[in-house]
């Protein structure tokens, strides 16, 4: 596969950045509505990120100490370079052809993790991305909800939005990608899932790039309709110190998963991307019993 993907790469990177802009604006608007009159709402701190060896970079956007979000990061990146030996072996094991002969790669995507103030409001993760090598290209991503105090109607709403995004492109996608999420977001050493799931997919290359990109865009576009209503429903629910304790312990589970198992964390650190951006997903405060 020659690098005739220049226009497609540019299109994907632009979409992921536009989605980042849309989500940041929506979260800041939510914070503004939750801030008492006369007080200044908390906004995102935005900084550029870089990859080692001048291999591109991105935008790290983090909001801390809000009325709604204790910490939320919405990152966009477009990076390129040559994969190291460990990453090449991992890609080869996944069936990516030609890595030993040409280790070049390009990747772009959006990554989001939100840790909430109110323990009744669920944490959430979402990412979508495109990956290219000279031998193959594919899309991946998904979203999963991580409540420490679960409300079945919130879980049902989130899954319904993800299913609608899947069903519009392939009626088999939701069942397949929900099962993948249930497996992927399982924490083996704890014997439990980190949340109530969602969808997860990777290595998506059906042979129709436009269709795969359209599906990936649909997943990203479904995020705000899936998450904002749940957040707004629980925003003013009274909570106790016991609720906060439950939240902090659940955050410990989330941190364990991201540091031990998450593919994106491993890939970002192994390929020299900005460590602060890679570890943006970690909660601001967590607790272990």
Determine the pLDDT at residue 231: 97
State the distance between the two ends of the chain, measured CA to CA, in whole angstroms.
51
pLDDT confidence of residue 1: 43
pLDDT at 41: 96
pLDDT of residue 2: 45
The pLDDT score that the predictor gives to residue 88 is 83
Give the count of beta carbons closer than 10 Å to the beta carbon of residue 42. Answer: 18
- Which CATH homologous superfamily contains domain 6-281? Coproporphyrinogen III oxidase, aerobic (3.40.1500.10)
pLDDT given for residue 146 in this prediction: 97
- 125 given a catalytic annotation: yes
Q: What is the pLDDT of residue 288?
A: 92
Residue of 80, 115, 120, 125 with catalytic role: 125
Tell me the pLDDT tens digit for each residue of 45-100: 999 998 777 788 999 999 999 999 999 999 999 999 988 888 788 888 877 877 77
Low-confidence stretches of the chain (pLDDT beneath 50):
1-2
What pLDDT sits at residue 273? 65
């Amino acid at each position: 596969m020659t690098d005739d993907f220049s226009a497609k790469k540019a299109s994907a990177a632009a979409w992921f950045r536009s989605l980042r802009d849309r989500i940041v604006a929506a979260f800041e608007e939510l914070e503004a509505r939750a801030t008492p009159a006369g007080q200044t709402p908390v906004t995102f701190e935005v900084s550029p990120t870089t990859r080692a060896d001048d291999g591109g970079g991105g935008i790290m956007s983090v909001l801390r100490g809000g009325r709604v979000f204790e910490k939320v990061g919405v990152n966009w990146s477009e990076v390129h370079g040559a994969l190291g030996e460990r990453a090449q072996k991992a890609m080869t094991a996944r069936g990516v052809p030609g890595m030993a002969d040409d280790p070049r790669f390009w990747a772009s995507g959006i990554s989001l993790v939100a840790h909430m103030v109110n323990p009744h409001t669920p944490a959430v993760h979402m990412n979508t991305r495109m990956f290219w090598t000279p031998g193959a290209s594919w899309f991946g991503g998904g979203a999963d909800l991580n409540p420490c105090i679960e409300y079945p109607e919130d879980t049902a709403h989130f899954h319904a939005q993800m299913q609608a995004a899947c069903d519009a492109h392939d009626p088999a996608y939701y069942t397949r990608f929900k099962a993948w999420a249930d497996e992927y977001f399982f924490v083996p050493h704890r014997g439990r899932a980190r949340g109530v799931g969602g969808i997860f997919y990777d290595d998506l290359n059906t042979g129709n790039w436009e269709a795969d990109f359209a599906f990936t865009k649909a997943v990203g576009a479904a995020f705000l309709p899936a998450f904002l209503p749940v957040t707004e429903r629980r925003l003013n629910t009274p909570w106790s110190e016991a609720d906060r304790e439950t939240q902090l312990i659940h955050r410990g589970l989330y941190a364990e998963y991201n540091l031990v198992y998450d593919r994106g964390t491993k890939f970002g650190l192994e390929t020299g991307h900005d460590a602060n951006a890679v570890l943006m997903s970690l909660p601001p405060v967590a607790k272990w019993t």
